[in-house]
Amino acid sequence: MAANEFDAFCRQAFEFLEHRNVRYLVIGGLAVVVVGEPRTTADADAIVFVSPAEAESLIREAAAAGFDLREDVERERLSRTGTMRFRRGLFQLDLITASLAFEERARERATRHELFGVSLPFPSPEDLILFKILAGRDKDLLDATGIASRHRDRLDVPYLETTLREICDAAEDASLWTRLQRVLASA
pLDDT per position as a tens digit, 68-115: 999 999 999 999 999 999 999 999 999 999 999 999 999 999 999 999
Together in a domain, 119 and 129: no
Of 105, 123, 141, the last residue of a domain is 123
DSSP assignment of 86-139: EEETTEEEEEEE--SHHHHHHHHH-EEEEETTEEEEE--HHHHHHHHHHH--HH
Same structural domain for residues 65 and 41? Answer: yes
> What pLDDT score does 38 carry?
72
Distances (CA, A) of 108 to 16, 24, 81, 84: 21, 10, 24, 23
Q: Give the C-alpha separation, 148 to 92, whole Å.
A: 27
For residue 39, the model assigns a pLDDT of: 74
Whether residue 140 sits in one domain with residue 55? no
Looking at residue 69, its pLDDT comes to 96
Rg (CA), the chain: 16
- Shared domain for 141 and 98, answered yes or no, is no
Residues 83 and 7 in one domain: yes
What is the 8-class DSSP label of residue 65? T
What counts of helices (H) and strands (E) characterise the chain?
9, 6
pLDDT, mean of residues 36-42: 77
Closest Cα to residue 182, out of 142, 135, 124? 142
Could you give the C-alpha distances from 61 to 51, 53, 55, 97, 165, in angstroms and in order?
15, 12, 10, 16, 38
Neighbours of 183 (CB within 10 A): 23
Q: Which domain holds residue 159?
A: 124-187
Type of residue numbered 98? A
> Within this chain, do residues 165 and 97 fall inside the same structural domain, yes or no?
no
DSSP three-state, residue 177: helix
**111-115 and 83-88: which strand pairing?**
unpaired
pLDDT value at position 41? 79
Domains held by the chain: number:
2
* Residue 36 pLDDT: 83
Looking at the structure, tell me whether residues 79 and 143 fall in a common domain. no
**69 and 18, same structural domain?**
yes
Q: Specify the pLDDT at position 3.
A: 61
Question: What is the CATH classification number for the domain harbouring 73?
Answer: 3.30.460.40
Confidence of residue 1 (pLDDT cuts 50, 70, 90): very low
At 21 the pLDDT is 96
Q: Is the pLDDT of residue 181 over 60?
A: yes
**pLDDT for the residue 80:** 97
Domain shared by 83 and 163, yes or no = no
Which of 71, 97, 123 represents a domain boundary (last residue)? 123
Q: Which of 106, 123, 140 is the last residue of a domain?
A: 123
36: phi then psi, degrees, rounded to nearest 5: -105, -115
Could you give the percent of the chain with pLDDT greater than 90? 89
Residue 107 sits in the same domain as residue 128: no
